Amino acid sequence: MKKVTLFFTFAIAILLSPLATAQTELRILDDMGTRFSDVNDSGIGVLTNGYYNFITGELSELEPEATGTVAINNDGNIAGYMYYDEPNFIQQAAYRIDDIWKGIGFLPEQDPETDTYTTYAISQNSKYITGQTHIGLNYGGFLYDTDTETLTGIFDPEGEAAALYTVNSEGIAGGWVDRPDGGGTLRVPAYRTTDGEIHLIPEQLPEESGVNAISYITDNNIMVGDYEFAPFIYDLNEDTFTSFEVPGDALSAAFTQISDNGVAVGYAEVEFQIRDAIVYHPSIDEQPVFLTDLLNDRGIEINTPDGLLGTAIAISPNGEYIVGWVNGPPMFAEGWILYIDDLILGTENLTSETITAYPNPVRDILNISANNVDNVAIYTITGQKVMDVANTNQIDFSGMSNGVYLVKIFTERNIETVKVIKE
């Protein structure tokens, strides 16, 4: 298989970029049907019909017992499909743990010949598989426990359709439910907690019908998705819902996934059925930006037919790999994988000065070891600015809520973002 490799090394900081020693590499797989659906911290991406290893550059086929893949976690375990009845081409949701594929089967009240499954996610601890299923015309989500091998149907108690797109290691699953809107149904972002309750976010129903769904939830209970054609981040721990602007003149936008260090990716519909990938982190901008612009500004050419990256569908938990596919019919689209290293979250050095923040975790005073600190901006992991102070090497955290914060430090020749835990 041929591939296009675009490589750029940020070696001469002053002349080329404020980033030093960072490396970014974009690979576009130009065979049809190579679109990515997920990626882990090791750079192992899953395609609809195989796997791609960024480190080795190798594409490998599905195991013979599997019929498709959709998600991967950091243990290398997979969610996907396998046959339930191969002679009659009946598939079931399935998973691979420790290189062994198993099917999840069907609910007792389901008919395998007519009731189908769509697999969407596997939790990082490999305990849960989730997706959508139905009993006749009653559509809902499912949750499968790989430890107990228990399959649970998750149907909306109000009788409307629903789906689950994502699940974390606690078993909190997110997706959408329908609600009446006077002329049919209206999708609403929703999540299900471990007590079986379904919760809508935000509390008010959307006024416009769109996808309106939670697309991903981290193990830190940070959710992303889209609401009324715009991307959002929801922090379950703090119960804060943040809606973002649609970049440029795009028609709509959505976040598809967020890393554990707060880098959100997704897409914007720039024209009818034409997308371009977006990325967000407070160290870049207060609003999402086009990923193509971020790369072009750093000298990386997007060598696709339309010069766009199409859909960014996933980012690894450590924020180092982003995957997606170029514009075109998704079933036949070419995939791409981007290694960003510290392009977004790393040190933006113009000198060899090293900036540190201590103690970390912090209870009261955070000390910054840097000369001539001009400004310090502090953000929650969801990107909300909570503090902005100037000309100080000590930050008082005593009044802050416990949790993870991003501390962006500006000096005369440096900009660095440090993740700090408040205890």
Residue closest to 192 by CA, chosen among 154, 157, 150? 154
**242 and 263 part of one domain:** yes
Out of 339, 362, 381, pick the residue that ends a domain: 339
Please tell me the predicted confidence (pLDDT) of residue 275: 96
Please tell me the predicted confidence (pLDDT) of residue 22: 41
pLDDT in tens, 363-381: 999 999 887 888 898 888 6
Out of 277, 305, 339, pick the residue that ends a domain: 339
Out of 286, 316, 339, pick the residue that ends a domain: 339
**18 and 166 part of one domain:** yes
**142 and 214 part of one domain:** yes
**What is the extent of the structural domain holding 241?**
3-339
Quick check: bond before 359 cis, omega within 30?
A: yes
Q: Is residue 143 part of a domain?
A: yes
- Rounded CA gap, 212 and 201, in Å? 10
**262 and 382 part of one domain:** no
H/E/C letters for each residue in the chain?
Answer: CCEEEEEEECCCHHHHCCCCCCEEEEEEECCCCCCEEEECCCCEEEECCEEEECCCCEEEECCCCEEEEEEECCCCCEEEEEEEEHHHCEEEEEEEECCEEEECCCCCCCCCCCCCEEEEEECCCCCEEEEEEEECCEEEEEEEECCCCEEEEECCCCCCCEEEEEECCCCCEEEEEEEECCCCEEEEEEEECCCCCEEECCCCCCCCCCCCEEEEECCCCEEEEEECCEEEEEECCCCEEEECCCCCCCCEEEEEEECCCCCEEEEEEEECCEEEEEEECCCCCCCCEEHHHHHHCCCCCCCCCCCCCCEEEEECCCCCEEEEECCCCCCCCCEEEEECCCCCCCCEECCCCCCEEECCCECCEEEEECCCEEEEEEEECCCCEEEEEECCCEEECCCCCCEEEEEEEEECCEEEEEEEEEC
pLDDT in tens, 186-209: 899 999 999 999 999 987 777 777
Domain with residue 364: its CATH number is 2.60.40.3080
**170 and 206 part of one domain:** yes
- Rounded CA gap, 380 and 264, in Å? 13
Q: Is residue 345 part of a domain?
A: no
Please tell me the predicted confidence (pLDDT) of residue 386: 86
- Rounded CA gap, 170 and 236, in Å? 13
**366 and 258 part of one domain:** no
Indicate the number of domains in the chain.
Answer: 2
**199 and 173 part of one domain:** yes
pLDDT exceeding 70 applies to what percent of the chain?
A: 89
Q: Return the half-sphere exposure (C-beta side, CA atoms, 13 A cut-off) of residue 56.
A: 8
Please tell me the predicted confidence (pLDDT) of residue 4: 35
Please tell me the predicted confidence (pLDDT) of residue 182: 59
**165 and 211 part of one domain:** yes
Q: Is residue 346 part of a domain?
A: no
By the 10 Å C-beta count (0-12 exposed, 13-18 middle, 19+ buried), 393 is classed as middle
pLDDT in tens, 89-126: 999 999 999 999 999 999 999 999 999 999 999 999 99
pTM of the predicted protein model: 0.80
Reply yes or no on whether the pLDDT at 134 is more than 70: yes
pLDDT, mean of residues 390-396: 90
Q: Is residue 31 part of a domain?
A: yes
**298 and 373 part of one domain:** no
Domain with residue 218: its CATH number is 2.120.10.30
Q: Is residue 344 part of a domain?
A: no
pLDDT, mean of residues 169-179: 95
